[in-house]
Amino acid sequence: MTDSSPTAGQQTRSMTIPLVAFAAGAAVAVLIGVFGRAHDPTLDGTTTLGFHTVIQMKVVVTTVIGVLVVLQLLGALVLYGKLPITAPPWLGKAHRASGATALVLAVFVAYHCLWALGLEYGHLADGEKVGARTVIHGVLGCSVFGAAVVKVAAVRAKRAPGWFLPVAGGLLFTLFVAVVLTSAVWYYANYGLPDSHGY
Ligand code: HEM
């Protein structure tokens, strides 16, 4: 009788993929944070895309990201058969396309955060104390891109354990939601819709 259970070598190899991916993701998040501290914040090289301020532009683009991220979760649940809906044949491609769009938009917004403001904590140059929300938002913002590295590895890896892709996707979704809540949703709650009077 043949033994179909995985050998110790195969088990080690499959666990190696998530471990290396999480280490690479952590390194990416830390490097982004280090850049956010080392770079001198400036509005040079940023755009408002026609909105009144850079912040308002980020709020609007982040809202689009938030909608795409929720669609990603719903799409993933349908693809995994967790909702009582049969997945249409185009759903896989649409899921990949909207996920890639959300990531590209997030890179665009994060560039404007990192370049114009940086990773803020402690006190600003003018002595103003940085609030907890801002610190949490910055750390989460850096972590999103580490989680994106893990997620891309999980999609590409053929021999990783079955839990890796849903865990990587769930982590990226959770971090995205937290980043949107600590920025755009916070803005709407405090300033309402972006307009010529807002900040
Ligand atoms: C790369 C890491 C990131 C860092 C270091 C960072 C940092 C910051 C900082 C310091 C602010 C100003 C907060 C304040 O004035 O109190 C800010 C604002 C904002 N960020 Fe980020 N951010 C990052 C990533 C992101 C990402 C990925 C998104 C969107 C998905 C985002 C969306 C926003 C928005 C909409 C605002 C304006 C509302 C606000 O002032 O909080 N950020 N960010």
Q: 47-106, pLDDT tens digit by residue?
A: 999 999 999 999 999 999 999 999 999 999 999 999 999 999 999 999 999 999 999 999
Find out whether 45 and 115 touch, Cβ atoms under 8 Å.
yes
Closest residue to atom 21 of ligand 1, CA basis: 113
* Rg of the chain, C-alpha, whole Å: 20
Find out whether 173 and 73 touch, Cβ atoms under 8 Å.
yes
Q: How confident is the model at residue 7 (pLDDT cuts 50, 70, 90)?
A: low
Q: What are the Cα distances from residue 73, in Å, to 10, 70, 83, 101, 168?
A: 31, 5, 11, 14, 12
Burial of 167 (0-12, 13-18, 19+ CB in 10 A): middle
Atom of ligand 1 nearest to the CA of 65: 30
Rounded distance, CA 133 to CA 64, Å?
21
To test the pocket of ligand 1, the residue of 105, 107, 137, 144 to mutate (highest count of ligand atoms within 8 Å of its CB) is: 137
Please give the residue that has the higher pLDDT: either 111 or 11. Answer: 111
Pocket (CB within 6 angstroms of ligand 1): 32, 36, 55, 58-59, 62, 65, 106, 109-110, 113-114, 117, 119-120, 134, 137-138, 141-142, 144, 179-180, 183-184, 186-187
Cα of 163 from ligand 1 centre, angstroms: 31
